Structure 1
Amino acid sequence: MDKDQVLQLVKARLGISTAVRDTYLTAIINGVITELTGEKGVNLQAENANHLMFVVDYSTWRYQNKDNTAGLPRHLQFRLHNLFIHNGGGADGDV
C-alpha cells in the first residue's frame, strides 16, 4: 500500500493543504495499516481501490474521532466485515 497516496487522500478528505499535520496523519495511517494487517489479519493489496479507500476512510475517522469511545461506526464495520469475507474469511489463517 502506497502510504504517500493514502496520506494525500486523507488530507484531501479533511481539507488540509499544508504539511503541518503530516507527521500525525502518517502515524495514524501506519497504525491503521498495522492494525488491519497485524491484528485483524487483512491482506491489503496495493492495487485494490476498495482496500485503499477503506484505509483512507478509517484513517480519516481515527483523526476526527480521537476521543471517541463509542467504537467504529456501522459503515466502517460493514466494510471491514466485507474485507474479511472477500479475503477468504480467514479459514486458513490468511484473511
Structure 2
Amino acid sequence: MDASITVALVKERLGIKSNVRDTYLTAIVDGVLKELEDEKGLALDDANPYHLMFTVDYATWRYQSRDKDTGMPRHLQYRLHNLFIHARDVD
C-alpha cells in the first residue's frame, strides 16, 4: 500500500496543512501498514478504497490517542474484524 497517499489523507482528516509533522505521521502510517500486513496477516490492496480508508482511520486514531491508555474504538475493531473475515473468505 502506498504510504504517501495514506499520510496525505491522514493529514487532511486531521486538518494539518504544513509538512512539520510528516516524519512522525509517516512513521505511524508505516507502523500501521507493517502491523496489518505482518502481525495481523492482512494482504492490503492499493486499489481497495475500504483498505485505504481503514488504514487512514487507524493511523489517525493512533496519532490522536498517542498519550491515552484507552483501547481501540469499537468502529475500528468492527472494521478490522470484517477485514479478517473477508481475508479468510478470499483464501
Take 1:62 and 1:37, find their aligned partners in 2: how far apart are those partners? 17
> For residues 33 and 8 of structure 1, what CA distance do their matches in structure 2 show?
15
TM-score w.r.t. the length of structure 2 is 0.95
Deviations 1:67-86, CA, capped at 9 Å, x for gaps: 22121000000000000011
Q: 1:78 is matched with which residue? A: 78
TM-score using structure 1 length: 0.91
Deviation at 1:89, TM superposition (A): 5.7
Matches for 1:7-86 after TM superposition, within 5 Å: 7-86=7-86
- Which one-letter code corresponds to 2:68 in the other structure? N
Per-residue CA distance 1:2-58 (angstroms, 9 max, x = gap): 111101100000000010000000000000001100111111011000000000000
RMSD of aligned alpha carbons: 1.4
**Whole-Å separation in 1 of the counterparts to 2:72 and 2:89:** 20
Distance 1:84 1:43 in 2: 10
Structure 1: which 4+ aligned runs deviate by more than 4 Å? none
Unaligned runs of 5+ in 2: none
Please, which runs of 5 or more residues in structure 1 have no aligned partner? none
Task: Give the letter aligned to residue 73 of structure 1.
Answer: P
State the percentage of identical aligned residues. 60
Higher helix share: 2
Aligned length: 91
* Distance in 2 between residues matched to 1:48 and 1:65, nearest whole Å: 26
